[in-house]
């Protein structure tokens, strides 16, 4: 006779994740989550029929308290943590916690370390190779010496950019839960970024237009980080969004209700839809060769995403192959400064 009274059912449902009570090898009670994972009719069944997972059954049938990581209950590759508690009168409480999120973040961390090492190893191998050649005794042709020097310089700077960006990323992550507190005028940020990018714009023969009508466009933020956001977006538009057909970039700062929107738009080659969801991943590039040649580390949009999140904002990227790309960053607008200072 099952003990699944309405009170016990409510208690087990409140746990959220799948939970069962096992009495001498029979499922005595099970919450909604357990029933939708293992089947509606498991109450009253032999636990060996309800949970067809040999490793899990070994522990449950042994009747001892345990906490085990296992894979394959419900679907083939879903990871779970199973906790078994003895709750008296030889009853067992079995709970399953979904570990997919933890496993995915562990995976992201190991992928990140592997990617970062790979990115650093390539320029490092060049430096070692050239260093060894230079260390060999004997005269060296002047033109060759210059070429070696230039390559060493370029590769070392590349490593420096990667390390700088990684440090910037970890600083921003460390500050994730600390809200910035300065009042920042986004029009000024956009103007400063356009100035920072003037040299690159010249090289690309590009014109950057700014439309910042109807200000003020004040947000609460960290001016340095918000500058990094707009620098990155304009840099990308210049590097990847300018071609023979179009050398125009439009930067717009607008107020939309309670938000300030900064958008950077180009009319270049655009980005194929399958790449869009991955652009903010660290080291992800659509065309790795082209990005590396133009000095890109593939960390720019990951940095932008983290900064925008820290500012409780939203970023969206829309792009049409052949027509160009528009990146929008929406930030909560600051309340008007009501305090009149003496």
Ligand X SMILES: Nc1ncnc2c1ncn2[C@@H]1O[C@H](COP(=O)(O)OP(=O)(O)OP(=O)(O)O)[C@@H](O)[C@H]1O
Q: Which chain residues interact with ligand X by CB under 6 A?
A: 165, 232, 236-237, 240-241, 266, 268, 271, 279, 284-287, 291, 296-301, 325
Which string of x and - marks every residue 275-314 that binds Mg ion (by CB under 5 A)? -------------------------x--------------
Token digits of residue 202: 């010249």
The binder of 234, among Mg ion, ligand X, none, by C-beta within 5 to 8 A per type, is none
Residue 236 touching Mg ion (CB under 5 A): yes
Q: Which residue has the tokens 């938000």?
A: 259
CB of 235 to Mg ion, least distance (A): 5
Report the Cα–Cα distance between both ends of the chain, in Å, rounded.
77
Rounded to whole angstroms, the Cα distance separating 232 from 152 reads 26
Kindly report the backbone phi and psi dihedral angles of residue 231, in degrees, each rounded to the nearest multiple of 5, phi listed first. Answer: -55, -45
The binder of 123, among ligand X, Mg ion, none, by C-beta within 5 to 8 A per type, is none
Whichever of 17 and 281 has its CB closer to ligand X, that residue is 281
Whichever of 242 and 333 has its CB closer to Mg ion, that residue is 242
Rounded to whole angstroms, the Cα distance separating 51 from 34 reads 10
Whichever of 130 and 284 has its CB closer to ligand X, that residue is 284
The binder of 18, among ligand X, Mg ion, none, by C-beta within 5 to 8 A per type, is none
Give the angle subtended at the CA of 304 by the CAs of 302 and 308, to the nearest 5°.
120
The binder of 297, among ligand X, Mg ion, none, by C-beta within 5 to 8 A per type, is ligand X
User: What number of chain residues touch Mg ion (CB under 5 A)?
Assistant: 2
Distances (CA, A) of 156 to 58, 124, 299, 300: 56, 8, 17, 19
Q: Which residue has the tokens 């400064």?
A: 337
Residue 325 touching Mg ion (CB under 5 A): no
Kindly report the backbone phi and psi dihedral angles of residue 257, in degrees, each rounded to the nearest multiple of 5, phi listed first. Answer: 60, -120
The binder of 271, among ligand X, Mg ion, none, by C-beta within 5 to 8 A per type, is ligand X
Rounded to whole angstroms, the Cα distance separating 251 from 59 reads 62
Rounded to whole angstroms, the Cα distance separating 1 from 31 reads 17
In this chain, which residue has its C-beta nearest to Mg ion?
A: 300
Sheet holding 207-211, edge to edge: 207-211, 248-256, 259-266, 324-332, 314-320
Contact predicate 251/264, CB 8 Å: yes
SS3 99: coil
The binder of 291, among ligand X, Mg ion, none, by C-beta within 5 to 8 A per type, is ligand X
Whichever of 232 and 247 has its CB closer to ligand X, that residue is 232
CB of 299 to Mg ion, least distance (A): 8
CB of 328 to ligand X, least distance (A): 12
Residue 268 touching Mg ion (CB under 5 A): no
CB of 313 to Mg ion, least distance (A): 18
Whichever of 165 and 185 has its CB closer to ligand X, that residue is 165
Torsion of CA 163, 164, 169, 173, to 10 degrees: 100
CB of 303 to Mg ion, least distance (A): 9
Rounded to whole angstroms, the Cα distance separating 299 from 282 reads 5
CB of 128 to ligand X, least distance (A): 24
Token digits of residue 21: 């009570």
CB of 235 to ligand X, least distance (A): 6
Whichever of 227 and 300 has its CB closer to Mg ion, that residue is 300
CB of 264 to ligand X, least distance (A): 8
Rounded to whole angstroms, the Cα distance separating 197 from 264 reads 13
Whichever of 21 and 206 has its CB closer to ligand X, that residue is 206
In the complex, the residues that contact Mg ion under the rule CB under 5 A are 236, 300
């Amino acid at each position: 006779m099952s003990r699944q009274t309405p009170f016990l059912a409510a208690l087990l449902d409140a746990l959220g994740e799948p939970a069962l009570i096992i009495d001498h090898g029979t499922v005595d009670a099970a919450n909604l989550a357990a029933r939708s994972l293992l089947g509606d009719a498991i109450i009253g069944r032999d636990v060996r029929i309800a949970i067809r997972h040999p490793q899990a059954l070994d522990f449950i049938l042994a009747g001892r308290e345990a906490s085990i990581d296992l894979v394959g209950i419900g679907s083939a590759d879903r990871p779970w943590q199973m906790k078994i508690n003895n709750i008296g009168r030889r009853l067992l409480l079995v709970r399953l916690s979904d570990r997919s999120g933890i496993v995915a973040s562990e995976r992201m961390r190991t992928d990140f370390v592997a990617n970062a090492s790979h990115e650093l190893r390539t320029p490092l191998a060049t430096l070692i190779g050239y260093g060894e050649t230079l260390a060999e005794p004997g005269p060296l042709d002047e033109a060759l010496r210059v070429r070696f020097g230039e390559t060493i310089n370029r590769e070392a700077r590349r490593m420096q950019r990667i390390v700088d960006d990684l440090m910037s990323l970890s600083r921003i992550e460390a500050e994730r839960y600390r809200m910035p507190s300065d009042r920042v005028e986004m029009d000024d940020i956009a103007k400063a970024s356009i100035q920072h990018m003037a040299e690159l714009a010249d090289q690309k023969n590009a014109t950057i237009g700014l439309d910042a009508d109807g200000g003020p466009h004040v947000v609460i933020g960290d001016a340095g980080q918000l500058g990094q956001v707009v620098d990155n977006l304009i840099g990308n538009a210049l590097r990847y969004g300018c071609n023979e057909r179009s050398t125009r970039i439009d930067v717009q700062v607008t107020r939309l209700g309670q938000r300030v929107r900064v958008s950077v738009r180009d009319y270049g080659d655009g980005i194929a839809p399958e790449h869009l969801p991955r652009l903010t991943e660290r080291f992800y590039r659509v065309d790795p060769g082209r990005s590396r040649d133009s000095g890109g580390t593939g960390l720019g949009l990951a940095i932008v995403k983290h900064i925008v999140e820290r500012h409780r904002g939203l970023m969206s990227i829309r792009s049409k192959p052949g027509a160009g790309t528009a990146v929008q960053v929406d930030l909560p607008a600051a309340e008007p400064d009501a305090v009149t200072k003496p």
